[in-house]
Structure 1
Amino acid sequence: MRSLRIFRLWLTTSFRAAPLPMAISTVLVAARAVTAPTQTYGVSRLVDGLAADRPSTIGWGIGIIVAGLAVAFVADVVGFPLQTTAQERMAGRVHADLLDVTTGIPGLAHHERPDVSDRLEIVRERAWRMGAGSEVLLWLFGTVTNTVTVLSLLGSVHPLLLLLPLLGTARIWSAYLSSTRQQKAWEDSMPQERLVDRLIEVAKDPRTGLELRVFGLGQVLLDRIFSLQTERFRRRVDAARWGGKVDGAVRLVFGLAYAGAVVWVVARARAGEQTAGDVVLVLLLASQVDQMTGGIAQNVYWVGEVVRSFSRYDWLREYAKDNSWKAGTTPAPARLTSGIELRNVGFAYPGADSAVLSGIDLRLPAGSAIALVGENGAGKTTLVKLLARMYDPTTGQVLVDGTDLASIAPDSWRAQLSAGFQDFVKFELIVREVVGLGDVGRMSDEAAVGLAVSRGDAESVVAGLPRGLDTQLGKKFTDGVELSGGQWQRLALARAFMRERPLLLLLDEPTAALDPEAEHRLYEQYAAAAKIAAAETGGITVLVSHRFSTVRMADLIVVMHQGRIEEVGTHEALLAANTRYADLFNLQARAYR
């Protein structure tokens, strides 16, 4: 059942990508596939006609040969550009589908699981083989057509000669064994390949250049890359050598058998049991039978590669379907009335042995500003990800105005969010696009982008650029400008301000690259924006920060420790309690003094 589904996916993807070029190419490939054996038959008729002095047979032979040349000419001239067009459209369709399927997975779990990451990497790396699927499909069709024609001609001489192609199919078996072993070697070396790619990125990334040179890590990286590459290539070369030996042995046996068949047909011709044309036909078909079986062997390899690639693609589609959160169909509310509540929430990352969060009971009132504090690893960022529904809790529920967040459509919920993160993305685009991405629907709104830049305290950054909002960022581009970490962060903050009235504003240490004074000024702007959002939509602001001078302005401070909530209260109440929050606050205050 799955095999049929994979073949149907291959077939439909090929013809959907380029319906007319594929239809015409199929006809031309079939015509081209029969020309060589048919012309060989024409030569045999010509020889028989000359030997028996039969003009009609000579005419038939010449006519078949000339017709074959004409068909081959048309098929080659017209077919090649059509097949190239079909292949290019197929490649574009496959890559677009892969991007659509991958980005359509609403959660982040597939990024956290090594087994899934390996399979995703294989899908990405071998996507070009799916792109060649249209060509392989046509090749396969042509090979089948050619095989039927060759078998018909051999059978017309003597049925026993049909054993030769059957013997030649041993090459198919050897090709299958070879491709299976090579595929196994390739998959086994996938972890090394991913690590090599990452190390190469580290070696050439300008951002890592300083530390590489200071600590003298260049040679260390090169040695590690060389060692991993050597191990990768050793596995693959061993598999290729084994396949070459098996294929060579099979071809030798087939060659000897065909030589014996030719001698047998010549002996029958001398005894008057076959014609001279039959001898010529068998002789000329020798190379075609070898090419036919070789073509089938190559097709077995490439068909296997394409089928495996589409099998992985089918797995990805099924994975995306199973993890699409289709149960979430309820639209997100337009405003919050009671707020967000977490009930006995626990969470463990995929494949992890222990939970990051456990027993979380917390209520975030509508219109409130909440600060999350605690040591590194306390679970603050994970809690933020659950609120954004990048993951579903392992246990418990997240309720939005009493409705389970798992039942709300992910896209609808995220359309009501805005966020600023410490690990923000450096989009190397035009500045207005870098900011406008925070609300794609208003990206072209000049006033909205300008207001977001002002609210994100990024006016000085834009003013210092050669073309203002129209400046291209990134040194990889002509006239591209590189920014400092703090400048990039201000643009990321401006991006978070593009949505003016979010139901949930998530700020996970978004000002880590800024000085305390700039951070305080920005948080005052966030607080002002939060009050407006609270009044109009009941919006909630969640702030994660290690600087206690900023979190004190929050309505409610949540102290986390080892994945649990230890304290909840206002700044004054928590100081008066004189427990963990007070200890952390006083420790930081003494450092500033």
Structure 2
Amino acid sequence: MKGKAPASGKLRGIAAMARLALASDTPRAVGAVVMTLAISAHPVVVALFIRQLTDAVVAGHADTAMGWGLGLAAAVASWLALLWYTFGLRTVLEEKVRHAAEAGIAAMSMAPWSVAHHEDPEIAEELALIERDVNRLAQVVIFLLTLLGALGQLLFAVVVLADVHPVLLLLPAVGALPVWAARRGDRWRQRSLELAAADENRARELYAVACGAEHAQELSVLGAQAAVRDRHRQLAGAAQRERETGAHRSFRVQADATGLFGAAYAAAVAVAVLAAVAGKAGVGDVLLTIALAAQVTGQVTMATDAVTQLVRAKATADRYLRIAALADGDRTDGAEPPETGDGLALHDVTFRYKDAARPALDGVNLRVEGGQTLAVVGENGAGKTTLAKLMCRLYDPDGGAVTWNGAPLSTLDPEAWRSQVSAAYQDFVRFEVTAGHTVGLGDLPRIDDTGAARTALRKADGERLEDALPDGLATPLGRSHPEGTELSTGQWQKLAVARSMMRETPRLLVLDEPTASLDAETEYRLFQHYARASREVTRDGRGIVVIITHRLGSVRFADRIAVMERGTVAETGTHDELMAAGGRYARLYRTQAEAYRLDEPQHAEPEGER
């Protein structure tokens, strides 16, 4: 997902939600439309029954009046039954649309081959807003049905009123004023919310700082409580004043339009009364006009509310459609990864994150042959993790190429390439499923293979973790389970590393800061396991292991070490070669050895590792 989401048409987002409802449950969607129209006709039918009943009573026709009275009772009873039935139908339909929208949002987030949409602030904010307002997406269908019912009843009422007096046809035209005023007022209100957003966001952040227990100590020492409180009050007050300005303007325009419609309603009733007095209409026509004119008022109000809600929901629906278009646009095909060749290589690769001040990678040239283990080291911000992302093709480079056995990754099918890649990251996922499935997710076809999960745990130095769990690998993990077991950060990280070991013969195994949450002893022991895992992955001479870390004391077993500095490769070689060269690697190694009080015997390579 790259670039800014394209703009959508005026009603495309709303139409997309209607199509989603139809696709989610066609019978209920069609039934809801039919029932809504039937309900909209019922009040007019009831008003007609009242007119006929009144005229029969005035004329003294008892039998006729009794017949119309029974018909009126039946009409009211059927109307109430339809209301309850339609309410249930709409509720189920709304739930189905909400579920479909949530599934669509998840698919949009996971569909693109790149992770750029998660790291692009604009697109990430779009996704976050869609997730927050998913209920509004589901309610679009309800608002559309409400608007349909209101307009249908308005149309039926107009046809009947025209039979009383043609001038009554003007009533709905005047009733359009509140609809226009509602849209106008809502635009002013939305504009005020946008203008207030910056101050409101800063006020919210200060509120979190002021009320957070974790900040209390530092605020107290700095003596900054009063300053934070005053600044929060200032920002919150400015945001509130801006919101009040928009709300006041919105209220004024809607109040004026509603007053005009009220005057038109009074005039309509007066027209019917004068017609009756003149003998051109009956008493029933007067009551009919009063009832239907009141319905026009109610339906205009309902239509106004529905339009207002649709205007508010339109932004979310359009946003949903824009992100869906980007996700569809990122579907790419390509060739299968070559089985043989010269391994993994970066050719003059340059990459810059959006809005970054400088490139994360700048002219990187690096080659790792099949069967080798590469350690990428360097200080924070040197470009190590970005290098890993490009190797996994989570991004394409801005310049140059990343190739696998001579074929640019950009020409390969992303899913086919990733099926041959395994990875563990410092920012790992805490999958709150069973411990066995948490590991097994690393190789989905074998997710239920307990033996494979246990083997992966052994490779990650996690044998004792299984014994510590109440039900072993069948133990549910995390707080989302009523009886789930919570783990320490280090234990979660071991499961993440084990997950990366699930694939038996990955062509590329990337371990990005895999020991960040582990103590030094565990880290060293785990790197011994990495050495053995590296031999297994690279045994056939085709697999490659890339270990990325800022800790240098445990990567001596690597066939090659690349030192990153400000987005470039400063040095490459074996540990011994780099130490003998006396360059940046040697300086960093000695500095870290002294800082961590490491000595050479403690981190000597285990026997048989090379």
The answer to whether TM tops 0.5 is yes
Match of 2:5 in 1: none
Q: Give the distance between the partners of 1:235 and 1:495, measured in 2 at CA.
A: 51
Paired residue for 2:356, among 331, 334, 352?
352
Residues 328 and 406, structure 1, Cα contact 8 Å, conserved in 2: no
Alpha-carbon offset, residue 475 of structure 1:
4.9
Paired residue for 2:278, among 266, 271, 279?
271
Alpha-carbon offset, residue 34 of structure 1:
1.0
1:469 equivalent to 2:476? Answer no
Match of 1:507 in 2: 511
Match of 1:483 in 2: 487
Matched ranges for 1:401-480 at <5 A: 401-475=405-479, 477-480=481-484
Q: Choose 105-114 or 452-461, whichever is displaced more.
A: 105-114
1:122 equivalent to 2:129? Answer yes
Residues 14 and 140, structure 2, Cα contact 8 Å, conserved in 1: no
When residues 151 and 221 of structure 1 are mapped into structure 2, their CA distance, relative to the original with a 3 A threshold, is farther
When residues 111 and 186 of structure 1 are mapped into structure 2, their CA distance, relative to the original with a 3 A threshold, is farther
Paired residue type of 1:152? V
Paired residue type of 1:134? V
Paired residue type of 2:24? A
Alpha-carbon offset, residue 372 of structure 1:
0.9
Count of aligned positions: 586
Alpha-carbon offset, residue 305 of structure 1:
2.9
Residues 552 and 589, structure 2, Cα contact 8 Å, conserved in 1: yes
1:538 equivalent to 2:542? Answer yes
Match of 2:605 in 1: none
Residues 330 and 407, structure 1, Cα contact 8 Å, conserved in 2: yes
Q: Give the distance between the partners of 1:505 and 1:563, measured in 2 at CA.
A: 22
Match of 2:397 in 1: 393
Alpha-carbon offset, residue 109 of structure 1:
1.5
Q: Choose 223-232 or 458-467, whichever is displaced more.
A: 223-232
Alpha-carbon offset, residue 198 of structure 1:
7.9
Residues 258 and 286, structure 1, Cα contact 8 Å, conserved in 2: yes
Q: Give the distance between the partners of 2:385 and 2:11, measured in 1 at CA.
A: 44
Q: Give the distance between the partners of 1:162 and 1:12, measured in 2 at CA.
A: 34
Match of 1:184 in 2: 191
Match of 2:295 in 1: 288
Residues 144 and 306, structure 2, Cα contact 8 Å, conserved in 1: no
Match of 1:19 in 2: 26
Match of 1:45 in 2: 52
When residues 220 and 80 of structure 1 are mapped into structure 2, their CA distance, relative to the original with a 3 A threshold, is farther
Residues 537 and 545, structure 2, Cα contact 8 Å, conserved in 1: no
1:30 equivalent to 2:34? Answer no
2:363 match: secondary structure: strand
Paired residue type of 2:389? K
Paired residue type of 2:250? G
When residues 447 and 577 of structure 1 are mapped into structure 2, their CA distance, relative to the original with a 3 A threshold, is same
1:255 equivalent to 2:257? Answer no
Q: Give the distance between the partners of 1:119 and 1:94, measured in 2 at CA.
A: 15
Q: Give the distance between the partners of 1:191 and 1:364, measured in 2 at CA.
A: 48
Taking structure 2 as the reference length, what is the TM-score of the superposition? 0.88
Residues 343 and 368, structure 2, Cα contact 8 Å, conserved in 1: yes
1:423 match: secondary structure: coil
2:539 match: secondary structure: helix
Q: Give the distance between the partners of 1:226 and 1:113, measured in 2 at CA.
A: 32
Residues 501 and 537, structure 1, Cα contact 8 Å, conserved in 2: no
When residues 357 and 186 of structure 1 are mapped into structure 2, their CA distance, relative to the original with a 3 A threshold, is same
Paired residue type of 1:72? W
Q: Give the distance between the partners of 2:93 and 2:200, measured in 1 at CA.
A: 31
Matched ranges for 1:293-304 at <5 A: 293-304=300-311
Alpha-carbon offset, residue 484 of structure 1:
2.6
Paired residue type of 1:75? L
Paired residue for 1:85, among 75, 79, 92?
92
When residues 230 and 15 of structure 1 are mapped into structure 2, their CA distance, relative to the original with a 3 A threshold, is farther
1:436-461: CA deviation from partner (whole Å, max 9, x where unpaired): 22222212101001111111101122
1:551 match: secondary structure: coil
Q: Choose 116-125 or 59-68, whichever is displaced more.
A: 59-68
When residues 370 and 313 of structure 1 are mapped into structure 2, their CA distance, relative to the original with a 3 A threshold, is same
1:535 match: secondary structure: coil
1:355 match: secondary structure: coil
1:331 equivalent to 2:336? Answer yes
Alpha-carbon offset, residue 355 of structure 1:
1.2
Q: Give the distance between the partners of 1:198 and 1:259, measured in 2 at CA.
A: 52
Alpha-carbon offset, residue 222 of structure 1:
9.2
Residues 32 and 71, structure 1, Cα contact 8 Å, conserved in 2: no
Paired residue type of 1:255? G
Unmatched tracts of structure 1, length 5 or more:
none
Taking structure 1 as the reference length, what is the TM-score of the superposition? 0.91
Alpha-carbon offset, residue 189 of structure 1:
5.4
Alpha-carbon offset, residue 564 of structure 1:
1.0
Q: Give the distance between the partners of 1:301 and 1:276, measured in 2 at CA.
A: 38
Q: Give the distance between the partners of 1:65 and 1:359, measured in 2 at CA.
A: 84
Paired residue type of 1:154? L
2:168 match: secondary structure: helix
1:441-500: CA deviation from partner (whole Å, max 9, x where unpaired): 212101001111111101122222333223333356444333333222222221221122
Residues 118 and 191, structure 1, Cα contact 8 Å, conserved in 2: no
Paired residue for 1:134, among 138, 141, 150?
141
Alpha-carbon offset, residue 4 of structure 1:
5.7
Match of 2:502 in 1: 498
Match of 1:371 in 2: 375
Matched ranges for 1:231-246 at <5 A: 234-246=241-253
2:538 match: secondary structure: helix
Alpha-carbon offset, residue 559 of structure 1:
1.3
Residues 130 and 316, structure 2, Cα contact 8 Å, conserved in 1: yes
When residues 307 and 104 of structure 1 are mapped into structure 2, their CA distance, relative to the original with a 3 A threshold, is same
Q: Give the distance between the partners of 1:463 and 1:202, measured in 2 at CA.
A: 41
Residues 476 and 484, structure 2, Cα contact 8 Å, conserved in 1: yes
2:402 match: secondary structure: strand
Unmatched tracts of structure 2, length 5 or more:
1-7, 600-610
Alpha-carbon offset, residue 353 of structure 1:
3.2
